[in-house]
A and B are shown apart, each in its own frame.
Chain A
Amino acid sequence: MTTGALLLILKVCALVAFMLQISAISVQIVYIIKRKEKTDPVSHWLLLSAAVFLFLYTALRSLLIGFVALTTIVECLVFFSAVSMLLLFIYRLIYVQKLIHFIVLGGSLISLLLLAIASSPLMRDAVHVPIPELRSLWLVLHVSLAFIGEAFFLVAFVVSIIYLLQHDDNQKQELEKLLYRTVVIGYLIFTAGALICGAIWARHAWGRYWSFDDPKETWAFITWLTYTAYLHTRFFRKWRGKLSALLCIIGFLFTLFTLFGVSYLLEGPHSYL
């Protein structure tokens, strides 16, 4: 298959995923507005289909560049969006929470926004072979695990907002449990990917495990510290609840700043991302 044909298929995949995601969100909104008792039966399957098309996009792009397509900001955003949608699909299947459709809707809107940013003309989206220091298995583990962890943080962000808006104590307790589980799994994967695999890759690429001179690394650490603080606030009855939820919201905002803000506002070795 020629490069031109592959590029065309890439565009089609992204477009189909975008349309499927918009359809899923529309169905969710209609069901919420009509105040149907049951959650809708199709939107999560639409989300899964969108995720499949985005994973296909990543696979084809990997074929084009001859390496796993996780080396530019656009490739990472597409992957982040795909993982978030897959995660929302799994949450929708597993949890029988009354508020699950709000959680899935919030998450879908954010992943749609991520995809929209990825396709924005402001993003540099040149399909090119990655530089040698990026061609490492450790980088693939670092980036993929970090974004899987961040997808859990995305869900935790939505759950936190719903928690703060909720008045029913039983619902709040359920949401609190869900929030904790989501953050712990995300925290575990994020620590393994962003911090540990990241440190090993940095050692291979730049000759050192960690550098606080790199704002991306420092901000990833700040994000990690915020979720660490969240896990500790749960020890105290007074702090559990609102403060914990606020920390999760701040944590996800820090995640977004690490992804976009650091890349565009601060200079460092990660600035190609």
Chain B
Amino acid sequence: MQNMKAARLKKILNFLKSPKLAVAMIVLLIILFLTATFVPQGQAETFYLTHYPGFIARLIILTHYYNFYRSSIFLIPLFLFFINLIICTFSRIIARFLHKAPLRFGPDLIHISILLFIASGIASLRFQEQEVVIPEGGSALLSSGHKIEMFHQLSIPKDLAENSSIDLYYKVSKNGVLIKEGWLANEKILEFDNFIISRQPDFWEQVLILKDENLEYYELKPGIGFRMENRNFIFKGISPEYSRDQENKHTLSSEFYLAALFVEQESDIESRTIIKNRGDKIGPFIVHDLLLAYRFIIKEKSDAEFIIGAGVLFICGLGLTFLQKTGDTKL
């Protein structure tokens, strides 16, 4: 009876450490990854129902393909592959030490590094990304108690050319104590304590608040407008502007302000761009306020530095395997 149990256990172990299982899992993972890149991730269910044929949409929803990297359809094969790799690696290492297998540690180093990659990948799943929108002069409070404040500043190039850009000045504080402050250029990331913050350059919220003579307030977003006396006024967005001198040139003392850009269309063909500042009149309205906000991706840092170590281990293992195998006549 005990022999039968041992034989069954051995059979299961042999199946779990089999390279055939590894190849099957790799091929399955290839197919899953491949299809997942063609399914937009993280959309609402209605998106899939409206963009895909009924059967495929239901399949995407049922299998949680819309959240592929956290779905069981991905995690189960990955887990099986992980188990396969663990059993295969350690049974081989034990066999090598017992002199039942040739002393070739190259493949073991490769497998250990892949185990480290997968383990770190699974561990990093708990470090969720968070998206926040912080308006000009506004702040965001993180769950850790950190407060981030952002201020827009106009960056005027040294040659005073027209293509100026908006830079951000940030302040990070915790419990009222300033931890860090400085400029956050477009391509840079902000790091403090255990957080990494990156600015999304193309995603800023632009809102124009108009008021009429009855003190009714209206909110406009880019692309929206109003019609008056056969003319369309379309709000195009908020533009960083800066004051000019008498010769209509920028100076180093130019002040930065935000202005609303409108396109005025008199007919289908004729149109002109007009710029309005706070307090200016446009049609029956007055520009009351302009709101500009950036989107930021806030990510808690995982201790992923050891991934580099795993990478080096992988390369060493691969090199060692190749060197040991070149002398092999089976090659």
Contacts and interface: CB of A to CB of B under 8 A. Distances in A.
A152 to B, nearest CB: 12
Contact of B30 (A180, A184, A222): A222
B331 A177 contact: yes
A191 interface: yes
Given A132-B187, A200-B308, A236 B20 contact: yes
B8 to A, nearest CB: 24
Contact of A209 (B22, B69, B304): B304
Nearest to B30: A225
Interface string B272-316: 000000000000000000000000010100001001100110110
B223 to A, nearest CB: 21
A199 B19 contact: no
Contacts of B34: 222
Contact of A212 (B69, B191, B307, B322): B69
Given A218-B33, A232-B22, A188 B322 contact: yes
A232 B326 CA distance: 17
Nearest to A177: B331
B88 to A, nearest CB: 11
**Prevailing SS type, chain B contact patch:** helix
A158 B196 CA distance: 45
Given A185-B322, A192-B315, A235-B19, A219 B37 contact: yes
Contacts of A199: 307-308, 311
A206 interface: yes
B26 interface: yes
B115 to A, nearest CB: 14
Contact of B318 (A133, A188, A213, A219): A188
A200 to B, nearest CB: 7
B36 A218 contact: yes
B189 interface: yes
Contacts of B312: 196
A222 B35 CA distance: 11
Contacts of A206: 189, 198
Contacts of B27: 229
Contact of A232 (B26, B191, B197): B26
Contact of B33 (A191, A225, A266): A225
Contacts of A239: 23
A77 interface: no
Interface in B189-223: 189, 191, 196-198
A219 to B, nearest CB: 7
B319 interface: yes
B41 interface: yes
B29 interface: yes
Contacts of A235: 19
B318 A207 contact: no
A114 interface: no
Interface in A191-217: 191-192, 195-196, 199-200, 203, 205-210, 212-213, 215
Interface in A229-257: 229, 232-233, 235-236, 239
B19 A236 contact: yes
A39 interface: no
B32 to A, nearest CB: 10
**Prevailing SS type, chain A contact patch:** helix
Contact of B196 (A208, A226, A233): A208
Contact of A196 (B19, B187, B191, B308): B308
Given A207-B196, A222-B30, A229-B23, A188 B36 contact: no
Contacts of B322: 184-185, 188
Contacts of B321: 184
A1 interface: no
A225 B29 contact: yes
Contact of A131 (B33, B187, B304, B319): B187
A213 to B, nearest CB: 7
Contact of A208 (B20, B41, B299): B299
A191 B314 contact: yes
Interface string B65-104: 0001100000000000000000000000000000000000
A228 interface: yes
A235 B19 CA distance: 8
A207 B315 contact: no
Nearest to A196: B311
Contact of B331 (A180, A195, A219): A180
A133 B27 CA distance: 34
A187 B321 CA distance: 12
Contacts of B304: 203, 209
Question: What 9 A-B pairs are tightest by C-beta distance, nearest first?
Answer: A196-B311, A207-B189, A207-B196, A229-B26, A132-B187, A215-B37, A235-B19, A133-B187, A207-B198
16 contacts: A184-B322, A192-B315, A196-B314, A199-B308, A200-B308, A205-B187, A206-B189, A207-B189, A208-B299, A212-B36, A218-B36, A222-B30, A222-B34, A225-B26, A226-B30, A266-B38
Interface of B: 19-20, 22-23, 26-27, 29-30, 33-34, 36-38, 41, 68-69, 121, 187, 189, 191, 196-198, 297, 299, 304, 307-308, 311-312, 314-315, 318-319, 321-322, 326, 331
Given A222-B33, A236-B20, 11 more contacts: A180-B331, A188-B319, A191-B315, A191-B318, A196-B314, A200-B308, A212-B36, A228-B26, A229-B30, A232-B19, A233-B23
